[in-house]
Copies of this chain bind each other. A is one copy, B any other.
Amino acid sequence: MAEHYIASAKIQDVTISEGLLGRVSRLVKEQVLPYQWEILNDLAKDAVPDHSIENFSVAEGNDEGFPSHCIANFKIAAGDEKGDFYGMVFQDSDLAKWLEAVSYQIMSAPDPELEKTVDETIDLIGRAQQEDGYLNTYFTIKEPGNRFTNLCECHELYCAGHMMEAAVAYYRATGKDKLLKIMCRMADLIDQNFGPEENKRHGYPGHEEIELALVKMYEATQEERYLKLAKYFIDERGTKPLYFDIEFEKRNHASHFSYLYPPYGMYSNGPKYAQYHLPIREQKTFEGHAVRCMYMASGAVDVARLTGDQKLLETCRELYRNMVQRRMYLTGGIGSTPKAEMFTSDYDLPNDMVYGETCASVGMMFFTKRLLETEPKGDYADTMERALLNTCLAGMSLDGKSFFYVNPLEVDPIVSKENPDRAHVLPVRPAWFGCACCPPNLSRMITSLAEYIYTIRDNEVYLNLYMSNHAKLCLKDREIELDVLTEYPYEGLIKIQIQSDGDYSICFRIPSWSKDKWSGEINGREVVEKPEEGFVRLERSWKKGDTILLELDFEPKRVYANPRVSKDVGKVAVQCGPLVYCLEEKDNGKGLQRIYLPKEAQLQLVRRKDKLEGINEIHTKGLRLSELEEDSALYIPDALWSYETVDLVFIPYYAWANRGENEMTVWIHEK
C-alpha cells in the first residue's frame, strides 16, 4: 500500500483565517483552552456541572464529578501532595487531551508562556510515572497491586493512549521529547506485558484508543514494536476464548463500576458494548458504544494502511458503509440510545431518544480522516463535514463556555424534565460534566482542524473541507502554497489562489448535495473535468496567480430519510450546503411538533450577520395544527381541528440552544 505517498496536511502548514471555523478556532484558543486548564486545576469555581435534570445515562454517570481533581491526582501520584484519587477511572485522559490540544495550538501559534505551563505539567507527569515506566494516577494511588487486571472497565490503556497522543503532538510542536520519552517507557512496559508470547497477557483495551496512539508513536519514533503492538491489539480483539471473560474470572467477578451501575446496566449488551463480540475482521456492523467504535476503526485503518492489510481495510470500509447507510443521524450524530451510548440496529434512529455524543462525532472525524488517507473519496469527506459542521459544532455554545454531551434532533424541555427516559436530552448546555470527555475532545479536534482540510497523495492536493486558509503543502516532489477564500458554509463560492508554479493537481470536492449543480472555472475558463469519487481533479502546470473559482449549490434543500427509518416517515428536514437546519421555539413559538412544511413552500435563504454570531436563516411559510381549547378531549374526530399559516425561521442546527431553554426540532411533518 505504500505505493503512494499519502498524508494529511500538517497543522503548522495551514493557517485558518476568518469565517465560521476561524471564529471557532479562535474561541477554542482564547476561551476554551484557558477555561479547561482552570477546570483541570479546580480553579473554575462557577463551572458546576448541571444536575438539575437527573441523569440516568452511563457516561454522565451519577458522578458529582466536580471538581475535576485531575492535576491533583497527578500531584498525589507524584508524591507532591497528600490526598486521595478523585474522579472517573479515566480522569487522566482529560489532562492528556488538553495537552494534545494545546500542542496543536502551539503548532499554529507559538506561545512561550503556554509552553512553560506545559513543560511544568510534563515534569509533574514525569514525577507521577513509576520506576518501571507505569503511568496512571488511579491505579498508582488507589490500586497499585491491580495494574492490568481489569482492562475491560478501567481504561488503563485508553489513558496511556491519550497521553501518547499528547506526547507525539508536543514533540511535533516543539521538538521537546520529555513527554515522548515518558510515554515510550510506558509503551515499552505495555509491550512487555501484552503480546502473543506465552508469558504475556493476551488482552486488549476495553476502550479502544491506544491502537491509534501507538501508530502515532511509531510514526514519531520509527519504533516497529509500537506498530506491532497496535496490530496485536487489533488482531486479538474478539478472539476466543474472550480475554475479558478470563480476566473477569481471575478477579472474582469484581466490577469497577458497581458503585454506579447495577449489574444489568453498563454492559447490558455484553461483548458488543466494547466490540469484542467478534474478531474485528469479522465485524460487519458497528455495535456497542459509538465512541469506542470510532476509535477502534481509526486505529484499524492506521494499522491496515501501514501494514498493507487489505482485509482489515475492507472491514473498516464496510463498517463505514453500514454506518453512513443505516446508523447515522442526519446531523452526523451516532448512538441511538443513552443506555451504553451505543448503536442499536439498522435504521433505528429515534430523534427524541438519540444519544449522538459529541465525542462520537469527533471520533467519526478521526475515522473518516484516516479513510481519506487510504483513498481519495468524497463520501468520506462529506461524512466528516456532516459531523463537524453539525454535531461537533453543536457540542459547544457559541461563547465556548458550555457544552453538550448529547446532541438530540428533537427537544421538548418539559418532557426532558418530567420524563426520565429523556433526562439525557438537556435543552441547555451545562458548563461541565462529571465525565468530561467531550469538551477537551472537541478542543483537540478544533486545534488540529488543519489536518482535516487537505489530503496529499503524491503530487495531488485534495481539498476535503472548505474554509478560508493559507496553506503550504509538501507534495511528493515539491512544496506549494495556496490560499482559499470563502464564506463557506454560508455561501457556495470558493476561490482558490495558486501561489506556486509547477506541475501538480488540485482536486476539489463536490459534495454529494451539490453533485447535480456546481460550476468551476480557472482564470475565467470553465472547468470541464467531471468529478470522480466526489473529487474534480485539475492536473495542470500551475502558475502563481492562477485562480480557481468554484461555485457549489447553495439553494436550501429538503431532505428525507430512507423510508426504513421509521421515525422519519412523513417528515422532512432542511439543509443548505453542508448545514442541517432546525426550528427553535425562540423563532417559531411553542409546539414545533405541530408544524407542517407544505411540499410547495419556497425556502428562502436570508443572511443574518447580526444573529447567533452570523448565520444564514431559511425562511418559509408553514402550517401549524391549531391547539384545541384547554380542556378538549384527548381523542377526537378530525373535524375539530384547523391549521394556521405561520412564518417559519430555520437556523443552522449547530447554533441551537444559545438563547435559553426552548423546544427544537430537525425533522418536521410534511404536508
Pair B562/A337 contact, Cβ less than 8 Å: no
Pair A562/B632 contact, Cβ less than 8 Å: yes
Q: Which residue from chain B places its CB closest to the CB of A639 in the assembled complex?
A: B560
Pair A263/B636 contact, Cβ less than 8 Å: no
Pair A339/B632 contact, Cβ less than 8 Å: no
Pair B419/A348 contact, Cβ less than 8 Å: yes
The interface residues of chain B lying within 8 Å CB-to-CB of A353 are: 353, 421
Q: CA–CA, A417 to B641, complex, Å?
A: 38
Q: Using C-beta atoms within 8 Å of the partner chain, give the interface range for chain A.
A: 35 or more
Q: A56-B264, A345-B419 known; A634 and B328 CB under 8 Å?
A: yes
Chain A residues 550-599 with CB under 8 Å of chain B are 557-567, 569-570, 572-573, 591, 593-594, 596
Q: CA–CA, A572 to B393, complex, Å?
A: 38
Pair A634/B421 contact, Cβ less than 8 Å: no
Pair B62/A558 contact, Cβ less than 8 Å: no
Pair A339/B634 contact, Cβ less than 8 Å: no
Q: Mark A602-637, 1 if CB is under 8 A from B, else 0.
A: 000000000000000000000001111001111111
Copies in the complex: 2
Pair A420/B340 contact, Cβ less than 8 Å: yes
Q: CA–CA, A591 to B559, complex, Å?
A: 21
Q: CA–CA, A300 to B227, complex, Å?
A: 72
Asked if A474 is at the interface of the complex by the 8 Å CB criterion, the answer is no
A–B pairs, 15, beta carbons within 8 Å: A56-B265, A62-B262, A336-B419, A339-B421, A344-B419, A345-B414, A348-B415, A350-B352, A353-B353, A560-B635, A561-B634, A562-B634, A566-B591, A569-B594, A569-B625
Pair B340/A562 contact, Cβ less than 8 Å: no
The interface residues of chain B lying within 8 Å CB-to-CB of A28 are: none
Pair A627/B344 contact, Cβ less than 8 Å: no
Pair B262/A560 contact, Cβ less than 8 Å: no
Stretch from A151-159, A318-326, A455-463 at the B interface: A318-326
Q: A62-B262, A352-B350, A566-B412 known; A561 and B344 CB under 8 Å?
A: no
Main secondary structure of the interface of A (DSSP, over half): loop
Q: CA–CA, A44 to B669, complex, Å?
A: 50
Asked if A658 is at the interface of the complex by the 8 Å CB criterion, the answer is no
Q: What residues of chain A have their CB less than 8 Å away from a CB belonging to chain B?
A: 54-56, 62, 260-265, 268-269, 321, 324-326, 328, 330, 336-340, 344-345, 348, 350, 352-353, 412, 414-415, 417-421, 512, 557-567, 569-570, 572-573, 591, 593-594, 596, 625-628, 631-638, 641, 669
Pair B560/A638 contact, Cβ less than 8 Å: yes
Pair A421/B325 contact, Cβ less than 8 Å: no
The interface residues of chain B lying within 8 Å CB-to-CB of A637 are: 557-560
Q: CA–CA, A356 to B625, complex, Å?
A: 27
Q: Which residue from chain B places its CB closest to the CB of A575 in the assembled complex?
A: B635
Pair A268/B420 contact, Cβ less than 8 Å: yes
Pair B628/A562 contact, Cβ less than 8 Å: yes
Distance of A60 from chain B, by nearest CB (Å): 11
Q: Which residue from chain B places its CB closest to the CB of A628 in the assembled complex?
A: B562
8 shortest A-B CB distances, which residue pairs?
A: A566-B593, A345-B418, A339-B420, A344-B419, A563-B625, A344-B418, A560-B638, A337-B421
